[in-house]
Amino acid sequence: MDKADGKALWKWTGGLTRMHFSPAAVWPVAADGKVFITDPQRAMTAIDLETGSTVWRTFRSMVRETIGLSEDGERIYSKTMNDSIVCYATKGDQPQEVWASNVGFGYEHAPSMQAEKGGVMFGSIKEGLIFALEGKTGKVLWKHKIENSLINTVVPLSEHEVLFTATSGEVGRLKIKN
């Protein structure tokens, strides 16, 4: 949208015609002149920020409606639907996987986004787990189970501390000691 008058500059549908193929729950992220989304069709897509045209689209990692951007804007993160976090480069006109890490969380489809602080990528799942990975390598740093309900997108305060909310009503602060 044009920020001066609010008129649409472009709209991306990717040729998808059913509501369940939309990126409805994802929070788009932008870097290197592209907007990145994931969708229920299990694809990750890079869209040209100026024109709205598809730069690339991949089904390789089976991601679904989760995405996060590294603090330096060089990497995007997403949860797969089974056990893993994947990381792709924001640069270039082809999808380039940087790393994939098996976090061991099982089947997953909750739309909680990944966030990075101090070089650490944080994520959460529908089964009450919060986890942290090294942003550049994907090394699993820690996992902590809060409870059994969905943990929404966490808010990192530092590389050792996050704020969280759970669908069961809890609000909390988790601090991991080195």
- Which positions of the chain have pLDDT values less than 70? 17-24
| CA-based nearest residue to 132, from 148, 146, 114 | 114
What residue has token string 């949208």? Answer: 1
Give pLDDT tens digits for 8-34: 999 887 777 666 666 667 889 999 999
Positive or negative, the CA dihedral 126, 128, 134, 137 is: negative
Model's pTM, two decimal places?
0.92
